[in-house]
Amino acid sequence: MLVTKNLSDEVLFDLIRNKDERAIAILLERYKKQFFTYILVIIKDHTTAEDLFQEACIKIINSIRNNKYSEDGRFVQWASRLIRNLCMDYLKSNKRKIMVQLPDGGDIFSVLQIDHRSADHRILQTQFVNRIHYMLDKLPQEQREIIILRFFHKMSFKEIASMLNTNVNTAMGRMRYGIIRLRDMMESMTEKV
């Protein structure tokens, strides 16, 4: 059978169970950006995210082949949960500070427009970026994830909710509480200065 990109996920699952390599390639290509971005948001390291993405792909394909995924139309949510668990296991085993990076490996805060004309400006930028990193690290994981996905990856609440296996209102609430916490942290830092 000729495998084409416009086949449904369910048809691709059947082909994958029958060891069709082209179906695997199509399925992974279809969700690669979404799954990799999700890993990168959690892990904050491009190289490690690539390794975990490969591991996640293997687990997803093996689960489909071994009928561990029941076709209920919630593939993205199921795969996102599998990926999240993989990332959390990695973070627990490596207990390290998380850095915020763009998918191209650059620092997420390099997109901020700060004047670089003098050493004073560079010092201020470094201090500002360090404060933002500090404040994001202080947020609960679920709030930090949503803020990064929404503001830095420009994802809609619907996409975020689907990725995190929650509903849109919960995602919006978590972001709201995260922003309130960030605002409170900023105010307390300003009072100290």
Q: What is the pLDDT of residues 61-117, one digit of tens each?
A: 999 888 888 777 778 888 888 988 898 888 888 764 445 555 565 555 555 444 445
**125 in the same domain as 51:** no
Torsions phi, psi for 167 (to 5 deg): -95, 165
In degrees, rounded to 5, the angle at the alpha carbon of residue 88 between the alpha carbons of residues 98 and 178 is 60
* Residue from 38, 34, 83 nearest 57 by CA: 83
58-65 long-range contacts (CB < 8 A, ≥24 apart) are 59/86, 61/16, 61/24, 61/28, 64/13, 64/16, 64/17, 65/16, 65/17, 65/19
Q: What does DSSP assign to residue 6?
A: T
Residue 139 lies in a domain: yes
pLDDT of residue 116: 44
* Measured distance CA(98)–CA(138) in Å, rounded: 11
> Tokens 């990193």 map to which residue?
133
Question: What is the per-residue pLDDT for 121?
Answer: 65
* Number of domains forming the structure of the chain: 2
Integer Cα distance of 172 and 168 in angstroms: 6
What span, in angstroms and rounded, lies between the C-alpha atoms of 178 and 173? Answer: 8
Output the domain CATH number for residue 131.
1.10.10.10
Is 135 found in the same domain as 78?
no
Q: Judge if 90 and 122 occupy the same domain.
A: no
Helices 21-43 and 9-17 pack at an angle, to 10 degrees, of 110
Clarify whether residues 131 and 179 are in a common domain.
yes
For residue 77, the model assigns a pLDDT of 82
Q: Are residues 88 and 155 in the same domain?
A: no
- The domain in which residue 172 lies consists of 115-192
Does pTM top 0.85 for this prediction? no
pLDDT single digits (tens) 147-170: 877 877 777 898 888 888 889 999
- Write out pLDDT tens, residues 37-47: 888 878 878 88
* Statement to judge: residues 72 and 37 lie in one domain: yes
Token look-up 């973070």 returns: 91
